[in-house]
Structure formats: C-alpha cells, structure tokens
Amino acid sequence: MGDESGIGPEIILKALCSNEIPKNIEFKLVGSEKNLHDTYEHLRSLGLESLANPKNLKIHDLEVSSTNNNSKSSYGDSSFQYLKKAIEIVKQYPDSALVTGPICKKSWSLAGHDFTGQTEVLAKSCGVKNVGMLFTAKSPITGWRFNTLLATTHIALCEVSKKLNTELIHSKLDLFKDFCNTYNDKPTLKVAGLNPHAGEEGILGHEEKDWLNDALITWSKKNRNIKLLGPLSPDSCWNSSVKAWSDKNAEKHDGILAMYHDQGLIPMKVIALNYSVNTTIGLPFIRTSPDHGTGFDIAGKGVAQSQSMIEAIKAAVEITNNSRLLYTH
C-alpha cells in the first residue's frame, strides 16, 4: 500500500474498480485493513462512487506498532514493513507480481530504514546486484511501448560521473536487451550522453570520449542483433519518442538508456504523463509502481488520479504473462 498518509490507499481503491484491470487476476493487498476501510468511507462521504469496496478484497492485514509519537516516522516504518511482507508473499507464488504504492524516503529515514528507495530494498531482499530502474509506458494513441532505463538511480548529481563506468553500462544494457527482446527480436536501443551535446568530442566533457564511446562499441560487437545508437546528445535524444508516442507512422525505437535520474525521468513524465510506470527489472519476479510520489498535498481530498496505478497493474500482468522475460532473471 505504500505510505498510507499519502494518496496510495485512494488510488488503489480507484484502480481496482477500473474496467481496464484484467478480471482473471487474484489480488492481495498488504497493509492496514482499517486504513483501507477508513479511506473508503471517507471517499464515499465526498461523493465518490467508483471505488473498490475493501469488504470484497483480500487483505493481508498488517498493523505495525509505533514506538514513537512522530507520525511521519510511524508511516515510514509501516510502509517499509508492508514492502518487506509483500516481497515475502510474492516469493511464495511463481507467477505473481508486486505492485507497490508510493513511499516517502524521508519518512523511511526518520524510521531508521537507510535505503534510498524501494528498488534498493527489493534488490537486497532478493540477493540481486544487477537490477534496473526502468520506466515504461504504453501509448494509448499508437500502442507503442516507450521505455527508458536509468544507468544510475537515487544518487546526488555530483556523484553520477564517479559511479558511471564501462561495467555498469554493459550490465544495464544486458538487462535492457532482455526486456526489449520480449517485444522485438532485433530491438533498437539508444544511449544518451552524460554531457551537453554528448561532450562535443571532449570540449564539453570528457566521459564520452574517454570511455563511453568504446564501451558502446565493445557491447555492440557482442550483441549484433541489437541496433545500438549513441552516445547521443541528451537534449534531442527523446525527440523521436515524442513522435512515436503520437504518430503510428513514426519511426520506432525500443528503449533509451539515460545516464542519471532526472535526465530520463523528465522526458518520460512529460511525454507519457500519467501512463508512465516504474518497473524493476532483474528480479526473480516483476515489480511495478506508479510513476509519481505520495501526493501529501492532495491526500484525503478525493482528487488523486489513478491512471498510473492502473497502468502499473496492467504492466505487471502483461510482463509477468510474458515468460520470455520472466525466466531470464
């Protein structure tokens, strides 16, 4: 359920009554049953009718006792325990997937959980080192799947160039190839440069010239069924994505590897808006999440949009049903 003081419970109840959700899927919610019932009654009092009734849902009720009076810390601890329990449950069922509600990283920190996000908890819990934070969206206009993978995730911008190296880029491209191969046997992947204009041959930054160009050439030689383009100028790398999202006749690509968080997330959220889904690849199961935060400022007002949660559920079902992807992990 994520952080229950945010919009998580609301978007879950809205999403689970949507006609877009497959009907042959069994859901189990992990979180506070009382919170879900209270949220349902509150939203009903606001006049909302399109809601799943918690009485008709399977809920793994997990009430986390608080040892302090800081509500932010308490909600942070609860959301962390919900995630740990959900991972434990998903591991028990071979064909299951995990969809997570949004959490507050500051609340986790206040509760003593030293992780920068849910992706990092998932990787540690599953004993996996090479995982990828992939953002995927299926265009409602063309049906094209828009994919952006991050080479680095939740780290400060000043640390990005220190973290990047040939081994990291190769490992992320390997994950990306496996994911995109589920849709296309010969995918086209693009790689954004780190620096403005991809370094302009060393004038605006040296990483591309020093090692990134060679890293991509080396990987391409080992993966000849992949058309790899880059490093490309980041300011124009996603232009083709805009066209492919809205024009059925536009030239398509299968994915873009971004060097850091905001480089990939800004174009993803601008182009795909509420259809973007955060997906963790490289795990023994599929995990998806809405591509937005806790929305504390609108929590309890009944105005939170649930499209991203709907898309997260749909993506989890679609990807899990594709055994070509699932069993490469």
Mean pLDDT of the chain: 93
Domain that holds residue 248: 132-281
Residue 39, domain member (yes or no): no
Residue 301, domain member (yes or no): no
**Cα separation values, 313 from 18, 140, 221, 274, Å:** 11, 15, 37, 13
Residue 240, domain member (yes or no): yes
- The pLDDT of residue 183 is 78
Residue 174, domain member (yes or no): yes
Residue 136, domain member (yes or no): yes
Pick 138 or 326 by higher pLDDT. Answer: 138
CA of residue 8 relative to chain centroid, distance = 15
Residue 103, domain member (yes or no): no
Task: Indicate the pairing of strand 132-138 with strand 277-281.
Answer: antiparallel
Residue 223, domain member (yes or no): yes
Report the distance separating Cα 67 and Cα 180, nearest Å: 46
User: How much of the chain exceeds pLDDT 90, in percent?
Assistant: 85
Q: Which residues face 186 on adjacent strands? A: none
Per-residue pLDDT band at 80 (split at 50, 70, 90): very high
Instruction: Take residue 14 and report the two structure tokens written for it.
Output: 């809205």
Which residue's entry shows tokens 């899927």? 25
Residue 48, domain member (yes or no): no
Report the distance separating Cα 36 and Cα 9, nearest Å: 6
Q: Residue 198 belongs to a domain with what CATH number?
A: 3.40.718.10
The answer to whether residue 177 scores a pLDDT higher than 60 is yes
Tell me the pLDDT tens digit for each residue of 3-41. 999 999 999 999 999 999 988 899 999 999 999 999 999
The answer to whether residue 328 scores a pLDDT higher than 50 is no
- What average pLDDT score do residues 149-163 get? 95
The number of folded domains in the chain is 1
Report the distance separating Cα 254 and Cα 176, nearest Å: 9
- The pLDDT of residue 184 is 85
Tell me the pLDDT tens digit for each residue of 206-243. 999 999 999 999 999 999 999 999 999 999 999 999 99
